[in-house]
Structure 1
């Protein structure tokens, strides 16, 4: 079968040229383009991609009028390249019958992944690494430079988060001769050594010493002794920064925040951290008013709250005394142990003057709840009557949160 090239490989221009294959076929000149009706389109070389989808993406349809040479062929090739599924795209003229042209799209698909492995990583880490790279590569999926780079970057991030800041990952690609157009990948992991923290510096802490602030960082420590732990783990570091702000909040600095932080390496490759703080003002409780309470008097609620005018503002203490204190000393327990299952409490700052804060504690008591049924499930070994004997919550009784907790224990 005699065929003439409409377009060669798509390189710098999208123009297609007919190349003469035999002496009796005409050469189409750009100066004298012809108009043809597409009589048929077929696809060659597509092993995994759908032929009809390829034709659809090209924008060419049977019955369309196109000019040869003209813009239609280069545009079709450009659309197929944009899919990033192929390493080669050609659009050929199979034959012409009068002013009817038959086209053939020839593609070379990108290789598909058959397998991957890790080199230089401990076997115990392979499951974790697979979880990371499987976000970007799948068996049977297309392998591109971008896919390989993303997978390698995911591995590096995994190790960086564990303190290996100098980790380096490269990817080797090799043909899988057992399969058609398939490749395997080897991820070469050089994790290096964990990077130590040489020092942690602070700026802006006018009311607390560096030592006091540094003490709030439970997992991020500077290297002081030979065998002391001082590894830099990003996740722990982020949590420790939040712990610093939380501590400031407990001693009245409700507006304290971290403005930013800087990290650099010294001549030994160790990390130096600097955290810039803004402490703000130290606040105190002033007036505390109760609203919505009809079951218990203000005096009773104030006794449980245990916060007086002039006390240092402590958001954590306030929340604990209102809801779910470990020792049961909170306003929620007072109500919920008396059946008020739907009780809600919301402290609202109604005024801030100077270093003083006024609170209005808004209460929704709701109706009392009575226990209807107690259902026991999952007791494969223990008889139900043995479990019920230990329960403090019985049908017909008022709901009590403390009784439920004791029953669980």
Structure 2
């Protein structure tokens, strides 16, 4: 038996070497190129005997046999190798090399040997000897938490049955080392051991042990600069956003070394120089020095260069806009310190899709195919003359506009929100606004909405627009049960936010409910031994289907039973009932802009008291009617995601007014009040007077709320909020009604709502503890919230927050002092799941004492649970 080829594979790159070897063998003698191959590849050994066929003689291939430790059938290996019986081939030659290459590229075998077993005339018999690569049987991971194992297996693809090669082991080590170093574990070590499984199974298998020693995250002791004379070390360190040295006072910024953040910060240093006119600045070198106390120091050498100023700035190629207009947009003058970063932002600010820059000015007026390039034409005497070269191109028009990804939402619901129409002149602002409007619907994952530009044709001036959406669950269910107030409380709430009322009689539409028309339908029932509430609401956002006019209606009923302090039970003979109905219209305005919405509503509530004497009202028997008109003006231009806005503002001012009955009912309320003051609550006459005062409620109510969102870092959002409310009376002799009042403090939620009251959240204090028992007529509140997202996936949006709040409630303007407030601070988390709405928990610390509770020091910690509240 003569060994023709013996190839043992050590890594996957040798497949190319085998191929090259085969080519060599086909060109010259076997012996010469065996030596050449040995010089090139130490891991491939080829031996040849001094045989008469060493010059590449033609042979007919006879029998081919297979030997070795393999689970594959002989016929499968022979067929795959291409060495078929009866084939004419040169030995040696490229056929042998190709066979080896095919077998090796299958990544199934550990080594391959080809022998000539016998030669009979011009017939050569071959033997292929090989062994299978071992499969991974079991993987054991040491050094990390069990919860991380699944992620490691997924990232490294170390699944059971995978072929284990030296290359797999090496790449796994390199991947994990790189991964942990990016996370700040500079001293991480990864070791991999394999153990052969010895059993009766013919397949070669190994168990693998993956030992991971991440070590501790390395902190930065110091950041040292050299070569900087103009900008100080402190100034440069401040420009490094993600790389900070140890500072015991700093809380929000980490001092752990993260390589990816460090590399980005090296770029930020250069940008800082450019912003100050040093356009030639660069990093000469950077190094890491390991200290004895397991910290590191960063040494960065910079070249500052000289400072430049702007010289002449000329525009070339512009015909749509004049030089003067573009200069006003650029807002950079001759003699200003050179700032390359600012120049680029004024031309095209890629961080803000709706930025006020020259590129957007062109694109908002149809010039999609325009290009704007700043070019330095002179830098003599450190003065840079610039040419802004503009290629305007043809105006672009939308050819086809489509939407993909909506399986439940009907097309007309989406298309009525789209600001880009076929045949319309292209506008980037309209594309950005469309993405926002689709995100604000709440039917789609706001993070996944993507405007795709298809078939751009600069010559024809056309573009196809495709909006890709991903639907999320828009309906919510509230099912709660608990024990409180001396009894069981059960709640059932259903909210369908993409309802289709026109399909309620179509059997096929129930999947599980009729959906797709963008309407909202909500039902809620809550009951205990002491109260029952029922409510129904419906809204249509596009009344008539042609204009954004929202119609809404709601119907509610509440029954409250008086608590018997002696028995601890509800007295069903003493009750307070409220029945209400509301109709509203909200219209999107065009002036001052179409972010404004004017809303109007008419509502009626009937309050019935039956022996309900609690001190909450001035009468215990009788009724009161509340017919009111509400008008509101709001403007909401917050960014795409309504759950986690990152920019924009939202403000609302509303006025709720009743009819001023005292102007024409002919009642002398001054005399009635004087008479009432002389009576006790048990006098029969007092009930008659009370009924006269509150038969028809007379009041006006004004409320303002404004909130702003500012993205102060990549995902970190600052949200300041201010609120103010006032409840007044037309006639001071009638006084301010005991209904419609403000109750400040706590989580802002209540199990039920009596008499039109409003619960205003102020965390860090108990619910409604910052108002009198009967509520306040004036309140103000100030809040500062810092938010950071943990995940914004469609299945669950989660973000953490920190807050500072202050507010107070007052009974009249004589006591009003906007600076005399109760203050608090704390932390919280919010979780939004489409099926259940917003859930959350807050831990608030009240800095001020509650005099009503007899406190003389800070109130301390309060825990608040948030359910279904987004603001």
Q: TM-score, normalised by structure 1?
A: 0.75
Q: Deviations over 1:325-384 (max 9, x none)?
A: 857532233333333333322211111102111111112233334556654555666666
Structure index of larger Rg: 2
Partner of 1:22 in structure 2?
none
In the TM superposition, what are the counterparts of 1:10-29 in structure 2 within 5 Å? none
Q: Contact (CA 8 Å) 1:167, 1:189: kept in 2 or not?
A: yes
Which of 71, 91, 114 pairs up with 1:47?
Answer: 71
Partner of 1:251 in structure 2?
276
* Residues in 1 aligned to 2:121 and 2:360: alpha-carbon distance in whole angstroms: 92
Partner of 1:197 in structure 2?
220
* Residues in 2 aligned to 1:97 and 1:6: alpha-carbon distance in whole angstroms: 14
Summarize the Cα distance change of 1:110–1:405 in structure 2 as closer, same or farther, 3 Å threshold.
closer
* Residues in 1 aligned to 2:113 and 2:365: alpha-carbon distance in whole angstroms: 77
Gap regions ≥5 residues in structure 1:
18-29, 67-71
In the TM superposition, what are the counterparts of 1:222-371 in structure 2 within 5 Å? 222-225=245-248, 229-324=254-349, 328-370=355-397
SS in 2 for 1:310: coil
Which of 162, 179, 192 pairs up with 2:183?
Answer: 162
Summarize the Cα distance change of 1:63–1:284 in structure 2 as closer, same or farther, 3 Å threshold.
closer
The structure with more helix, counted as a fraction of residues: 1
Q: Deviations over 1:86-124 (max 9, x none)?
A: 46959585x787998755444444423334342222233
Summarize the Cα distance change of 1:34–1:224 in structure 2 as closer, same or farther, 3 Å threshold.
same
Corresponding position: 1:209 with 2:232: yes
Partner of 1:27 in structure 2?
none
SS in 1 for 2:302: strand
* Residues in 2 aligned to 1:6 and 1:180: alpha-carbon distance in whole angstroms: 28
Gap regions ≥5 residues in structure 2:
9-41, 437-871
Corresponding position: 1:113 with 2:139: no
Partner of 1:174 in structure 2?
195
Q: Contact (CA 8 Å) 1:41, 1:62: kept in 2 or not?
A: no
Summarize the Cα distance change of 1:106–1:92 in structure 2 as closer, same or farther, 3 Å threshold.
farther
* Residues in 2 aligned to 1:365 and 1:65: alpha-carbon distance in whole angstroms: 65
Q: Deviations over 1:289-321 (max 9, x none)?
A: 111222322112111111110111112211222
Partner of 2:568 in structure 1?
none
The structure with more strand, counted as a fraction of residues: 2
In the TM superposition, what are the counterparts of 1:373-392 in structure 2 within 5 Å? 375=402
SS in 2 for 1:187: strand
Q: More deviation in 231-240 or 372-381?
A: 372-381
Corresponding position: 1:405 with 2:426: no
* Residues in 2 aligned to 1:315 and 1:184: alpha-carbon distance in whole angstroms: 57
Q: CA deviation at 1:162?
A: 1.0
Corresponding position: 1:148 with 2:169: yes
Q: Contact (CA 8 Å) 1:195, 1:270: kept in 2 or not?
A: yes
* Residues in 1 aligned to 2:401 and 2:52: alpha-carbon distance in whole angstroms: 86
Q: CA deviation at 1:152?
A: 2.1
Q: CA deviation at 1:139?
A: 5.1
Corresponding position: 1:124 with 2:108: no
* Residues in 1 aligned to 2:123 and 2:398: alpha-carbon distance in whole angstroms: 84
Summarize the Cα distance change of 1:168–1:394 in structure 2 as closer, same or farther, 3 Å threshold.
closer
SS in 1 for 2:379: strand
* Residues in 1 aligned to 2:163 and 2:188: alpha-carbon distance in whole angstroms: 26
* Residues in 2 aligned to 1:372 and 1:87: alpha-carbon distance in whole angstroms: 60
Summarize the Cα distance change of 1:281–1:80 in structure 2 as closer, same or farther, 3 Å threshold.
same
Summarize the Cα distance change of 1:172–1:314 in structure 2 as closer, same or farther, 3 Å threshold.
same
Summarize the Cα distance change of 1:369–1:248 in structure 2 as closer, same or farther, 3 Å threshold.
same
CA RMSD of aligned residues (A): 4.1
Which one has more relative contact order, counting CA pairs under 8 Å at least 6 apart? 1
* Residues in 1 aligned to 2:416 and 2:292: alpha-carbon distance in whole angstroms: 68
SS in 2 for 1:184: strand
In the TM superposition, what are the counterparts of 1:59-98 in structure 2 within 5 Å? 85-86=109-110, 91=115, 93=117
Q: Contact (CA 8 Å) 2:244, 2:256: kept in 1 or not?
A: yes
Summarize the Cα distance change of 1:109–1:234 in structure 2 as closer, same or farther, 3 Å threshold.
same
* Residues in 1 aligned to 2:404 and 2:87: alpha-carbon distance in whole angstroms: 66
Q: Contact (CA 8 Å) 1:132, 1:151: kept in 2 or not?
A: no
Q: CA deviation at 1:277?
A: 0.7
* Residues in 1 aligned to 2:123 and 2:414: alpha-carbon distance in whole angstroms: 86
Summarize the Cα distance change of 1:92–1:253 in structure 2 as closer, same or farther, 3 Å threshold.
same
Q: More deviation in 301-310 or 320-329?
A: 320-329
* Residues in 2 aligned to 1:63 and 1:396: alpha-carbon distance in whole angstroms: 67
Q: Contact (CA 8 Å) 2:218, 2:295: kept in 1 or not?
A: yes
